[in-house]
Structure 1
């Protein structure tokens, strides 16, 4: 029987490690979200303002950081501060922040416009921000904080991790499926509702992944800002929260349409692989786990 070389053993260890990190993150994100959701009524924080379940992914990142402290810096590189390496950089891809943020209202306009056209009365389901039970400025701030609580896990930690193993399209598709599956309550709704929601999470994950591919700093604020704009847009223009199928299906379709230009743009530039090749995540300092 052939004895494995040191290089083969090292590769196997890396493969086991990234799977272990991903598994721990997902388990804590799911269980943490459930616990926080159960705790929310006792806090008195209204769901309309902030859903504590959004901090499940942040809890997952925290636990992973405690278990593997020597690797968390590489995972979160570029979330707030500029990266020191050239990974994720691509020609012309560093100025995607504004187009990304503008894509969010485009998604809402497509979904809400189609919803108004398909409604028998022809009316959009618009909500005046002044009619909300809480100050709109407070809701905006809380929504941004909550969105960042999610995105530090999905786009700033899991996306870079999977990107070292998979391509620029496969990685965000996987993140989008996991992100959608994390919203387990959605699957208690009509199958078409759940399908529309899952289509939306995958499409948004793809456009976020491609848009952030060349961004070296403030990735968290960009991802959180996009997420916030989408949430606020749905709050003010849609009535999918009560389980109505049509607006969610239209939302998923709008996300898919909005993702197409980002996919075509990425194909036009060609896929540039990270300078850190798949499976070659920067080694942790000696003695770090």
Structure 2
């Protein structure tokens, strides 16, 4: 059951400020790397600092303009594990590994080379290695971004456009926000370049934006759910794909998104449900007119 809520007044009022400040902060930090080429040991910390733009700005706006209730709601949605039903925990943990298990066998059948497990584990040998990798993956996207994208921006966008269009708009903004990283050597974005991999990655960002909204709305607007989902997306991202592999994984993501969108579109809106109930209660036992049936 979806729990899309009306966006607080402070969020609706400051949503443009959120996007403006987020881009200014992140692009200034990343732009400084591109222009001034700092020492190599400073590049990774600066990349991480820029990545925290959405979260830093969201926290600032919530604390500066939010009511006491809005502040409490925000931090509860960040830290509450009980907002997420166990079935949604399973979905969060399994959806992106499932994409790998669907995509790679098809890729292999068509002649593609499936990477070894080391490509995903980073050569983990000890528990310390695993904790370090998990920390990097958690900081480098989920915690840096999700308090902003889903925790702050998604509610007012959904209120304006509904969940599907809001997800697509936010996904496109998300793609644009990453663009400076394509000019910084050593990032995964720079390795993709602006060819087929760029368009496949951009589609993936928009596609998972829809998945994120679906999970967010079904976990009582849980920011923690978005953080965990983002973590799994990072941990289970297909690597070293040629154009054939990019096309296959794009198709898999499209099928999954369609499986979410089609029931979403067909689901009656709350006002339509209320209208149908009102008619049934007013005219018990009488068939609905043809016009009502067409609109129901």
What interval of TM-score do these two structures reach, taking the shorter chain for normalisation? 0.5 to 0.7
What's the counterpart of residue 236 of structure 2? 233
* Aligned-CA RMSD value: 3.9
CA distance in 1, matches of 2:197, 2:62: 35
Structure 1, residues 216-269: CA drift from partner, whole Å, max 9, x if none? 26x2322122222222222xx5215xxx54444433333222222222332354
CA distance in 1, matches of 2:15, 2:110: 46
1:267 pairs, out of 244, 265, 268, with: 265
Moved more, 161-170 or 262-271: 262-271
The answer to whether the 8 Å contact 1:168/1:271 transfers is no
Q: How does 1:37-56 map to 2 (within 5 A)?
A: 41-43=40-42, 51-56=48-53
The answer to whether the 8 Å contact 2:54/2:147 transfers is yes
User: Residue 205 of structure 1: CA displacement?
Assistant: 0.4
The answer to whether the 8 Å contact 1:31/1:56 transfers is no
User: Residue 151 of structure 1: CA displacement?
Assistant: 1.4
What stretches of structure 1 of length at least 5 have no aligned partner? 1-12, 83-88, 274-289
The reply on whether 1:177 has 2:180 as its aligned counterpart is no
The answer to whether the 8 Å contact 1:176/1:202 transfers is yes
The reply on whether 1:113 has 2:114 as its aligned counterpart is no
Closer, same or farther in 2 for the Cα pair 1:31/1:123, shift >3 Å? same
The answer to whether the 8 Å contact 1:56/1:149 transfers is yes
CA distance in 2, matches of 1:163, 1:39: 40
Q: TM-score, normalised by structure 1?
A: 0.67
What's the counterpart of residue 138 of structure 1? 132
User: Residue 169 of structure 1: CA displacement?
Assistant: 0.7
2:21 pairs, out of 19, 24, 29, with: 24
Q: How does 1:1-289 map to 2 (within 5 A)?
A: 17-34=14-31, 41-43=40-42, 51-65=48-62, 68-70=65-67, 73=71, 76=74, 79-80=77-78, 96-119=88-111, 122-128=112-118, 129=121, 131=123, 135-146=129-140, 147-184=142-179, 185=182, 186=189, 189-216=193-220, 219-234=222-237, 237-240=238-241, 244-272=242-270
The answer to whether the 8 Å contact 1:105/1:233 transfers is yes
User: Residue 145 of structure 1: CA displacement?
Assistant: 3.0
CA distance in 1, matches of 2:177, 2:259: 27
Closer, same or farther in 2 for the Cα pair 1:214/1:56, shift >3 Å? same
Closer, same or farther in 2 for the Cα pair 1:94/1:76, shift >3 Å? farther
The answer to whether the 8 Å contact 1:103/1:258 transfers is no
Aligned residues: 242
